[in-house]
Amino acid sequence: MSGQQSKTWDVAVVGAGMAGMSAALFAASRGLSVLHVGNGGGLLFASGLLDVLGVHPVAPGRVWDRPWDALAALGKDDPGHPLVRVGADAVRVAMERVMSELGDAGMPYAPAEGNRQVPTSLGTTKVTYGVPRSMVAGAQAFAEGLPTLLVDFRGLREFSACQVVQTMGDRWPGLRCARVEFPDSEALSELYAVHVATALESSATRERLFERVRPLLGDASAVGFPAVLGLSRSGQVHQAFEAALGMPVFEIPTMPTSVPGLRLKGALEAAVGAHGVSRRVQSVVTGIVFDGDVAQLTLHDAAGGQTAAARAVILATGRFVGKGLVADRRGVAEPILGLRVEQPEARDSWHSRRFLEPAGHPINRAGLVTDSVGRPLDAAGNPAWRRLYAVGSILGRQDWMRQKCGSGLSAGTAWAAVDAIAGDLGGPGPVAG
Partner 1 sequence: MADTVFHEGFFRIALWVSLALGGLGLLWRLVTWLTVRIGSDAREVSFGQRLWAAIGGGVGALFSRRLPGMMGAFFLDVLFQRRLFATSKLRWAGHLMILVGFTVLLVMHALAAWLSGKLFDNYYATLNPFLLLRNVFGAMAVIGVVLLALGRRRDWAFGRPARRPADGIFAALLAVVLVSGFLLEAQKIASPKAFYRMTDEFGLGTDAEELAGLRWVWKQDYGVAFTDLHGEPDADVLAEGRELNSQACVDCHARPQSAFVSYPMARAMAPVTATLDAANADRALLWLHVLACLLGIVVLPFTRFFHAVADPVSLVARGAAASGPLSLAGRVSRRALAADACIRCGLCDARCSVAPIARWLDNPELLPSRKVQATRRVAGRAWTRVGDGDADRLAQGAHLCTDCGRCTLRCPVGLDLADLWDAGRDDLAARGLPAPATWIQEQPAIAWAEALGTELGRVPPAGPLSADRRTFSACVQCQTCTNVCPVVAHGGTDADRVDLTPQKVMNLLRLGMVDLALGSRMVWDCATCYQCQENCPEGIRVTDVMLELRGAAWRQLGPVRDRRRPE
Strand-pair category, 222-226 with 249-252: parallel
- Rank residues 16 and 178 by Cβ distance to partner 1 and give the closer one: 16
The pairing of strands 8-14 and 331-333 is unpaired
**Residue among 126, 265, 375, 397 that touches partner 1 (CB under 8 A):** 265
By CB under 8 A, residue 406 contacts partner 1: no
User: Shortest distance, CB of residue 326 to partner 1, whole angstroms?
Assistant: 13
The residues, ordered by sequence, that sit 6+ positions from 51 with a Cβ below 8 Å of its Cβ are 127, 128, 129, 130, 400, 404, 405, 406, 407, 408
- What string marks each residue from 166 to 185 as x (binds partner 1 by CB under 8 A) or -? ------------------xx
Q: Which one of 70, 193, 391, 395 is in contact with partner 1 (CB under 8 A)?
A: 193
42 touching partner 1, by CB under 8 A: yes
Q: How far is the CB of 228 from partner 1 (least distance, A)?
A: 10
Q: Is the dihedral of CA 68, 92, 312, 279 positive or negative?
A: positive
Position 195 contacts partner 1 (CB under 8 A) = yes
CA distance 51 to 58: 15
Instruction: Determine contact, residues 188/155, Cβ cutoff 8 Å.
Output: yes
Task: Select from 113, 173, 291, 302 the one that contacts partner 1 (CB under 8 A).
Answer: 302
Q: Which residues are registered as beta bridge partners of 376?
A: 370
Kindly indicate which of the ranges 134-142, 256-264, 304-312, 420-428 contains the residues binding partner 1, using the contact rule CB under 8 A: 256-264
In the bound complex, what is the minimum distance in angstroms from residue 262's beta carbon to partner 1? Answer: 7
Cα three-residue angle 410-412-416, rounded to 5 degrees: 120
Q: Cβ distance 1 to 306 under 8 Å? A: yes
The burial class, CB within 10 Å (0-12 / 13-18 / 19+), for 247 is middle
Q: Does 270 interact with partner 1 (rule: CB under 8 A)?
A: no
Cα-based angle 239, 233, 160 (whole degrees, multiple of 5): 75
257 binding partner 1? (CB under 8 A):
yes
177 vs 191, which CB is nearer to partner 1? 191
192 binds partner 1 (CB under 8 A): yes
Nearer to partner 1, 42 or 406 (CB): 42
Q: Closest distance between partner 1 and the C-beta of residue 279, in Å?
A: 11
- Sites of contact with partner 1 (CB under 8 A): 39, 41-42, 44-45, 184-185, 187-188, 192-195, 198-199, 256-257, 262, 265, 281-282, 284, 302
